[in-house]
């Protein structure tokens, strides 16, 4: 037998040894972390819906999930979540494409102002074209909309300034843009606000070169303002809900995911401290036999998310979530803010009692 390079490769390079003959729940395609993450690192997240899970688990395991746009402590967590708080670092909602990420950064830093930036509804409510589902019924007034958006942009700027690690999950290549200025919408106009107009709205399917260029621009933009930020890129394993192209959504899904996967590979190979984390492979690999997909064959099961986070935290943080090391996420609110309402309830209660008891006898 002649010598050849494969003879000296480790097990993870071989399908049979690392995939086919390993129990599915033990398949580990990560192999090694590109860098380390500590519990002191402030981790920002953005991306498609799969990225929501990452944020949730980081909090659950006591890592410093960076939130620069938190709900006011007046509001209960469930209500806050319905209004898009705490799901990502700032209240930007899902960012499906690389183009949206660059655009958000440019808008937050005042470098781009889309011409089409407000969608009025017939009932007078207002939809943010770039966060169309951030509030269940849109915004109640233009004053609120404008003020909230400025606040949001400030939170994005703070995120750039404060993040140590940025986890970005790329989700789609298909999207809709404005013909006027190229502004990228997260959802097709008309789907969750606005009105679709073929004279104003254009479909695009980003190429691998475009995704690489967008994502690189975003990374460099962040690092210009905050050198040293480490980047983790992932590809969402969630298939397209629909394709705008006249072909099978399955074919469009494989195109999108392939483009995104190649883009991550290019960027991780070219840029320092940019890692690709194989969440996509963990969920979609043949070893899973589809077990990490829910009945709709799109949603990822909790077991799938757990496995992704187990491998992510294990490799990048040396932390084993299965070892029972669950800790409550530290609250971002000082105790004084949480107690104020309770105190004020008592104060107002007593204030009213004083008013009433000042007249002990009420007579006719």
Partner 1 sequence: MPEALERDIVGRTDLPGVLAVGHSHLVSINDAWQQAAKAAARPGFRMAFLQLLVPEYQPLLSPQGNEVILNPRIRRALEALIGQQAPASIASFVLGNEHSVFGLVNHPRRFDFALPERPDLPMEPGTEIVPYDMMRAMLGEAVKRFMVPVLSSLRRVSGLPVRHFCSPPPIGSAAHIATYPGIAAAKVRELGVAPSALRLKLWLLYVGIVAEACAEAGGVPFVPSPVAAQDGVGFLDEPFWSRTPTHGNQRYGSLVLAQLAELIKAPAR
Binding region for partner 1 (CB under 8 A): 71-76, 79-80, 83, 124, 135-137, 139-141, 143-144, 147-148, 151, 333-334, 336-337, 340-341, 343-345, 347-348, 350-364
Cα–Cα distance for residue pair 362/364, rounded to 1 Å: 7
Cα–Cα distance for residue pair 209/188, rounded to 1 Å: 23
Q: Given the complex with partner 1, which of 16 and 72 has the nearer CB atom?
A: 72
| Helices and strands, counts by H and E, the chain | 10, 10
166-181 CB burial, b ≥16 within 10 A, e <16: bbbbbbbbbbbbbeee
Q: Given the complex with partner 1, which of 135 and 288 has the nearer CB atom?
A: 135
Q: Given the complex with partner 1, which of 2 and 363 has the nearer CB atom?
A: 363
Instruction: For the CB of residue 335, give the shortest distance to partner 1 in the complex, in Å.
Output: 10
Instruction: For the CB of residue 155, give the shortest distance to partner 1 in the complex, in Å.
Output: 11
Q: Given the complex with partner 1, which of 9 and 356 has the nearer CB atom?
A: 356
Question: Maximum CA pair distance of the chain?
Answer: 112
Q: How many CA atoms, within 13 angstroms, populate the side-chain half-sphere of residue 6? A: 6
Instruction: For the CB of residue 44, give the shortest distance to partner 1 in the complex, in Å.
Output: 20
Q: Where are the beta strands (DSSP E) in the chain?
A: 42-47, 64-65, 119-120, 126-127, 165-170, 174-178, 184-185, 201-205, 230-235, 274-276
Q: Given the complex with partner 1, which of 290 and 364 has the nearer CB atom?
A: 364
Q: Given the complex with partner 1, which of 197 and 343 has the nearer CB atom?
A: 343
Instruction: Give the residue ranges of DSSP H helices in 120-239.
Output: 142-162, 208-225
Instruction: For the CB of residue 343, give the shortest distance to partner 1 in the complex, in Å.
Output: 7
Beta carbons within 8 Å of 91's beta carbon, 6+ residues apart: 69, 83, 84, 85, 131, 134, 152, 155
Q: Given the complex with partner 1, which of 81 and 325 has the nearer CB atom?
A: 81
Neighbours of 35 (CB within 10 A): 13
Instruction: For the CB of residue 69, give the shortest distance to partner 1 in the complex, in Å.
Output: 10
Beta carbons within 8 Å of 213's beta carbon, 6+ residues apart: none
Instruction: For the CB of residue 148, give the shortest distance to partner 1 in the complex, in Å.
Output: 6
Instruction: For the CB of residue 144, give the shortest distance to partner 1 in the complex, in Å.
Output: 4
Cα–Cα distance for residue pair 171/306, rounded to 1 Å: 19
């Amino acid at each position: 037998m002649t010598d050849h390079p494969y003879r000296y490769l480790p097990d993870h390079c071989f399908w049979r040894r690392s995939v086919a003959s390993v129990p599915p729940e033990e398949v580990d395609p990560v192999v090694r972390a590109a860098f380390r993450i500590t519990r002191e690192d402030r981790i920002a997240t953005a991306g498609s819906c799969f990225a929501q899970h990452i944020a949730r688990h980081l909090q659950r395991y006591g890592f410093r999930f960076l939130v620069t746009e938190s709900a006011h402590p007046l509001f209960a967590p469930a209500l806050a979540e319905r209004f898009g708080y705490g799901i990502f670092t700032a209240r930007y909602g899902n960012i499906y494409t690389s183009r949206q990420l660059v655009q958000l950064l440019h808008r937050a830093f005042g470098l781009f102002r889309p011409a089409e930036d407000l969608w009025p509804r017939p009932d007078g409510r207002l939809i943010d074209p770039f966060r169309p589902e951030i509030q269940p019924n849109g915004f109640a007034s233009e004053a609120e909309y404008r003020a909230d958006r400025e606040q949001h942009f400030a939170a994005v700027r703070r995120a750039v300034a404060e993040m140590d690690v940025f986890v970005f999950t790329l989700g789609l290549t298909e999207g809709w843009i404005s013909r006027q200025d190229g502004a990228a919408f997260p959802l097709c106009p008309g789907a969750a606000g606005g009105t679709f107009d073929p004279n104003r709205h254009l479909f695009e399917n980003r190429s691998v070169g475009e995704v690489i260029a967008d994502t690189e621009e975003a990374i460099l933009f962040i690092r210009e303002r905050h050198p040293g930020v480490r980047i983790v890129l992932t590809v969402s394993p969630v298939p397209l809900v629909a394709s705008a192209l006249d072909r099978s959504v399955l074919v469009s899904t494989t195109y999108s995911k392939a483009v995104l996967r190649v883009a991550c590979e290019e960027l991780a190979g070219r840029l320092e401290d940019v890692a690709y984390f194989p969440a996509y492979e963990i969920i979609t690999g043949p070893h899973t036999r589809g077990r990490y997909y829910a009945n709709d064959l799109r949603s990822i099961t909790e077991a799938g998310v757990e496995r992704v986070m187990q491998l992510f935290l294990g490799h990048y943080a040396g932390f084993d979530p299965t070892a029972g090391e669950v800790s409550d996420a530290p609250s971002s609110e000082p105790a004084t803010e949480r107690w104020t309402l309770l105190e004020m309830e008592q104060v107002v209660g007593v204030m009213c009692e004083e008013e009433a008891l000042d007249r002990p006898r009420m007579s006719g």
